[in-house]
Structure 1
Amino acid sequence: MLKKTWYLIPLLFLSVTCLGQESKELGKEEAQAVLVPGSGTYSRKISTQNSHSQVFFDQGLRLAWGFYFPESIASYQEASRMDPNHPMPFWGMAHAMGPNPNSRYARMPDDPRGEGFKAINKALDRINRATPLEAKLIRALYVLYDSKTIPDKDKRDQAYLSAMRSLNQEYPDDPDIAALYAASYMSIRRWDYWDKEGNPKDETIPVAEALEHIIAQDISHPGVFHLHIHLIEASFKPERALVSADSLEATVPIVGHVVHMPAHIYVRVGQYSKAIENNIRSQAVDRQFADIWGDYPLPNIGTYPLSHKIHAGHALDFVRYAATVQGNYETASKSAWRMANRITSDNLMLMGGQKRVSAPWLVLKIFGKWDELLALTPAHQGTPYLDGIWSYALGSAFLAKGNMDLAVTELKKLKAIAEAPNADQYRVGATPASAVLKLAAYGLEGEVLMAEGNLTGAIEAFTAGIAIEDENNYTEPPDWAQPMRHYLGSALLKAGQPEEAEVVYRRDLKWNQNNGWSLFGLHKALTAQNKKDEARQVYNQWQEAWNEADIILTASHK
């Protein structure tokens, strides 16, 4: 069991006041960053003799492992200001400015301003002041930027992976090297570490073992825990990373993204209340961070711009998703609207923008709030995705109100949009918009057919939708807001096929653990088969899973 040290942010403030005040006395107009209480205690000793440079280097490193790269870059810049001839702050800048698994996943251009390349060259220029290990880290990272020697980016990626793999073999007990090795592999795979059957791809297992070797030594390292969560979350055994989920927050408790990250595992293992708590807390600590950071620079000069100023939307999305699974309409709706209201016309087309705009519509649909949905006037429309998802939600509302003709009209619109050549004109999420819209079309078609009494046709439509859903690219929260198996299981029960429904619900629960909607359906399927003992056990599980719900179920969907 890992030892966990829970850092109290107010107390930590006292421990850095002297250094922080001394930094300010050098002139705030010159200072690039402020020491942040609660930014953790992990330290990588570098060969500087300047204590201020060391503490800002450590802060930059911890913030980089927390994926707050602008704050990290600023901290490294301050470390360099304190000791301008030392190479490691420039190595840190190059690391923070370069690609990472999330930037590659989002298809962002590497080092768009060339600042990372400048930084690694400055590190090379000062390499005579580096220790042998520091020099190895600098030369390894330079490979990632060396487009002159290795023009092909994929080959540079492989060369950097090879360099970090070798360093990890040479220094297996070094947590930063283990994390750098993991990141070098994960940036190549871009969240694609497991196949659809849960089998590991390529180098996933050796990388996991490198991280777990560090974890087994009782070392609390933000990068190791963070990357371990991302590496394991899409597997069929997400509980493998529970130790990292339970330990990460204490390493950098003032960084909202770090506080949020355990939820990537909590939602996979069915601990939805913990996921909600972490994401509410992550927004609070980001506000604390903003108060501390004040008007110090946030240099957005690297590859990935995530910072305390823009993280809240992702946290709200997690609250919306986890509360939906719990059957908690009030929390899901509030979070969805808070998230959607952050989207303006300027950032609508950014990755996730359209999903967040449509989230309140889907929450209304999932919870059967038909009157509210029909009374809604969407603030944003005019893209294939938004128009299609609106037709999907509106069609369900018309069906629930008994207006079959209008529901069929929306279904026809949705099908046409899904099949149109411009369906993928704008990137929406990890999964192509056309795939999500086709899935929605099968879902609405199944609902229409079920309302008409054509259960065979409905089962076929829902099954076709599941075939698409199962091929969706992994992301959290998922690109599809409500598992289609909730509808297929219900249709099978209505068709007098409880055995088949049981299989469907159990398959959903294999991935969406402790999901109250499917537990309710599974209970009905077991009861219909007169499996009394199993039904009683599942009912008790459902009651526990549904203890935060504010709606009553009669089926596994509304």
Structure 2
Amino acid sequence: MKNKIILRWAGFLLVLGFVLAVIPERREILPKREKASIGAIKCTVSKFLLSNTDSTQQIAPLFENLGTYTFPVTTSNLRSQAFVDQGMRLAFAFNHAEAHRSFMEAARLDPDNAMAYWGQAYALGPNINDPLPDQERKEAAWKSLEKANQKIDGTTPLEDALIRSLNARYSNIWDTDQSLLNENYLREMEKVKASFPENADINTMFAEAAMNTMPWNYWDSQGNPMPYTSDAKEALEKAILLDPLHPGAHHYYIHLVELPKPDLGVPSAEVLGELMPAAGHLVHMPSHIFIRVGRYKDAVMANHKAIAADEDYISQCYSQGLYPLGYYPHNIHFLWSASSLIGESNTALSAAKKTAEKVPQGEMKNLTFLQDFAATPLLAYVRFGKWNDILTYPAPASGIVHLRLIRHYARGLAFVRKKNPKEAKEELMAIKEIMEDPQTATIIATAHNSSDRIARVAYEVVAGELAHLEGDSQKAIEHLRQAVDAEDALTYTEPSAWHVPPRQNLGAILLDLGQYGEAEEVYREDLSRLRQNGWSLYGLSNALSAQGKKEESLKTQSEFEKVWQYADITINRSVF
């Protein structure tokens, strides 16, 4: 399972060219006459610059609003040092391509700066979001590492150790197993950490090396740590203790604990968003914690800020390229998800439409994850009961399978709500046909889940709601419990791989059937997964009231009203 997840995620990223970009800052790192401006340096597309460059021309600009973090190295050239600092900031912000260019500029300014070449090799390597570098990057990393080794005389002991550690991370035997190299690098970084235990950067890079051996797979299904998870956690906690404003340590810590221990990440979430205001991804990252601990309004605000940062960058630098396909719409997508959970329908619907608008229609068949973005308006219409909007939504082309699936799902529920079982059954059969097509299993719908797994949830939800409409309560409950199981089996991602928890459908039907105790249990389960979400708080309050649990019901109703203070809708069920 681990390898399958890694390969799916890697394939997604290799197609996307998934990297972060930032916008320039006005903080004077160097005297104004020396500072590169956005007008003087052409904004670069979001891919690694691996071709030969003119050494007489500046390669990268100094960006602004990237905070004050510094990574001192052996150089007498202040400008080269500034680009090393920027390279590290960008690497910690997961903008490895732009970090690489910064390190290239640092080397251009000071060809004897060994750490500028180390930085190039470091940025070109695998990371948790891009675990399988292509051949061109492997060769470029090796060449940069060779230059770092050639310049190693005169470096500090710490710099010497970092350069030598990369000798274990890379190989010029190009088909060497990447997982073996990751393990070798981790062992070397463990030695470096033992030599420099009080260095925040070293603790952070050790944790990064540990996480690279198990990307997005840090805990088992029971919440127990995987090998090296505890070591990474301890190292990041020490790094934060040593440097409470370390952007890399906070960023990695959020990724490490967001599932299943998000409460541990709250302090990092409260700090990280302000450390590098122009790095949209780091501004967004706190929402990964906020949405897991029930702070949905904070998640909404974080993504508003991240979207603004991204749009500022895109408007200044370029309107085309790969960046707008990845991080930027992810922030809008996240805004839709978070605002939906607190009843901000106008914000959610607007964000859903905007997410879909960012999708280049001609790319959806090959870049299948874009179909998930494109489907967001349909999912928002389901959440807020916009049945007529669903029924007038145009059908996608036949080859756009996942978007077709979601449209059939939405239409199936729309026909159920309009009490048209005949049409609902036709949509259900269309879902089943897609679900059972072997090709559907090859389509990556979200970063981690294939479309057939999403189809299973969709099928069971529509089947359950249809059975309820037709008066078959036992069959309705049966299908919706299967939907719950199917959703629980989905691989973790944010926003959640399924938009409306099936427990909310199940709870609403149990209430309709007078099974109040079971409804209470279902809503409590949902609230343990999506804390303080308004939809299940409302359902739980009704379930408690129906059982005569007046005090508990009033308390839950009060919690609901607090969460729902931002809502622009009223509800009378946990689903429309």
Q: Is the 8 A contact 2:80 2:109 kept in 1?
A: yes
Q: 1:10 to 1:233 in 2, by over 3 A?
A: closer
Q: 1:110 to 1:373 in 2, by over 3 A?
A: farther
Q: 1:310 to 1:440 in 2, by over 3 A?
A: closer
Q: Is the 8 A contact 1:61 1:72 kept in 2?
A: yes
Deviations 1:61-114 (A, max 9, x none): 00110112222122111111111122211111122221111123xx77576563
Does 2:417 align with 1:411? no
Q: Which amino acid aligns with 2:345?
A: Y
Q: Aligned equivalents of 1:23 and 1:130: distance in 2? A: 28
Per the TM alignment, residue 283 of structure 1 is displaced from its structure 2 partner at its CA by: 2.0
Q: Which amino acid aligns with 2:147?
A: K
**1:372 corresponds to which of 383, 389, 395:** 389
Number of residues of Structure 1 aligned to a counterpart in Structure 2 = 537
Deviations 1:490-512 (A, max 9, x none): 12222222112111111111111
Q: Which amino acid aligns with 1:493?
A: L
Per the TM alignment, residue 350 of structure 1 is displaced from its structure 2 partner at its CA by: 2.5
Q: Aligned equivalents of 1:365 and 1:259: distance in 2? A: 29
**2:113 corresponds to which of 65, 72, 86:** 86
Where in structure 2 are the equivalents of 1:171-250 lying within 5 Å? 171-235=196-260, 237-250=261-274
**1:21 corresponds to which of 29, 34, 37:** 34
Does 2:349 align with 1:333? yes
Does 2:535 align with 1:535? no
Deviations 1:278-330 (A, max 9, x none): 111112223444577x58xx9x9xxxx7x588531111011010011112221
Q: Aligned equivalents of 1:93 and 1:10: distance in 2? A: 21
Does 2:479 align with 1:461? yes
Q: 1:136 to 1:346 in 2, by over 3 A?
A: farther
Q: 1:261 to 1:24 in 2, by over 3 A?
A: closer
Q: Aligned equivalents of 2:325 and 2:462: distance in 1? A: 38
Where in structure 2 are the equivalents of 1:421-500 lying within 5 Å? 421-429=438-446, 430-500=448-518
Q: Is the 8 A contact 2:200 2:242 kept in 1?
A: no
Q: Aligned equivalents of 2:488 and 2:190: distance in 1? A: 33
**2:94 corresponds to which of 57, 67, 89:** 67
Q: Aligned equivalents of 2:204 and 2:33: distance in 1? A: 29
Per the TM alignment, residue 121 of structure 1 is displaced from its structure 2 partner at its CA by: 2.1
Deviations 1:416-474 (A, max 9, x none): 21011111232222112111101110111011011111111111111111111111111
Partner of 1:360: 377
Q: 1:22 to 1:535 in 2, by over 3 A?
A: closer
Q: Aligned equivalents of 1:456 and 1:23: distance in 2? A: 69
Q: 1:330 to 1:290 in 2, by over 3 A?
A: closer
Partner of 2:176: 151
Q: Aligned equivalents of 2:354 and 2:103: distance in 1? A: 34
Q: Which amino acid aligns with 1:404?
A: P
Does 2:164 align with 1:139? yes
Q: 1:109 to 1:233 in 2, by over 3 A?
A: farther
Per the TM alignment, residue 175 of structure 1 is displaced from its structure 2 partner at its CA by: 1.9
Q: Aligned equivalents of 2:476 and 2:315: distance in 1? A: 54
Q: 1:308 to 1:375 in 2, by over 3 A?
A: closer
Q: Which amino acid aligns with 1:37?
A: E
Deviations 1:505-544 (A, max 9, x none): 1111111111101111111111111111111111011011
Tell me the TM-score normalized by structure 1: 0.91
Partner of 2:104: 77
Where in structure 2 are the equivalents of 1:272-291 lying within 5 Å? 272-289=296-313
Deviations 1:325-364 (A, max 9, x none): 1122211111111111111134323363111011111110
Percent pairwise identity: 34
Q: Aligned equivalents of 1:507 and 1:81: distance in 2? A: 57
> CA RMSD, aligned part only?
2.5
Partner of 1:42: 69
Deviates more, 1:52-61 or 1:214-223: 214-223
Q: 1:289 to 1:392 in 2, by over 3 A?
A: closer
Larger relative CO (CA 8 A, sep 6+): 1 or 2? 1
**1:258 corresponds to which of 258, 279, 282:** 282
The secondary structure found in structure 2 opposite 1:461 is helix
Partner of 2:13: none
Deviates more, 1:479-488 or 1:138-147: 138-147
Q: Is the 8 A contact 2:378 2:390 kept in 1?
A: yes
Q: Which amino acid aligns with 1:53?
A: S
Q: Is the 8 A contact 1:172 1:210 kept in 2?
A: no
Deviations 1:393-424 (A, max 9, x none): 11111111121101001101101210111112
Per the TM alignment, residue 49 of structure 1 is displaced from its structure 2 partner at its CA by: 1.0
Q: Aligned equivalents of 1:132 and 1:351: distance in 2? A: 47
Any unmatched runs of 5+ in structure 1?
1-8
Q: Is the 8 A contact 1:86 1:129 kept in 2?
A: no
Q: Aligned equivalents of 1:241 and 1:94: distance in 2? A: 30
Per the TM alignment, residue 553 of structure 1 is displaced from its structure 2 partner at its CA by: 1.2
The secondary structure found in structure 2 opposite 1:442 is helix
Q: Is the 8 A contact 1:233 1:241 kept in 2?
A: yes
**1:118 corresponds to which of 143, 147, 150:** 143
Per the TM alignment, residue 245 of structure 1 is displaced from its structure 2 partner at its CA by: 0.5
Q: Aligned equivalents of 2:412 and 2:382: distance in 1? A: 10
Deviates more, 1:50-59 or 1:157-166: 157-166
Q: 1:97 to 1:543 in 2, by over 3 A?
A: same
Q: Aligned equivalents of 1:268 and 1:497: distance in 2? A: 29
Partner of 2:124: 97
Q: Which amino acid aligns with 1:330?
A: N
Does 2:567 align with 1:549? yes
Where in structure 2 are the equivalents of 1:2-21 lying within 5 Å? 13-16=26-29, 18=31, 21=34
Q: Is the 8 A contact 1:87 1:129 kept in 2?
A: no
Tell me the TM-score normalized by structure 2: 0.88
Per the TM alignment, residue 380 of structure 1 is displaced from its structure 2 partner at its CA by: 5.3
Q: Aligned equivalents of 1:409 and 1:274: distance in 2? A: 41
Q: Which amino acid aligns with 1:390?
A: R
Q: Aligned equivalents of 1:387 and 1:471: distance in 2? A: 22
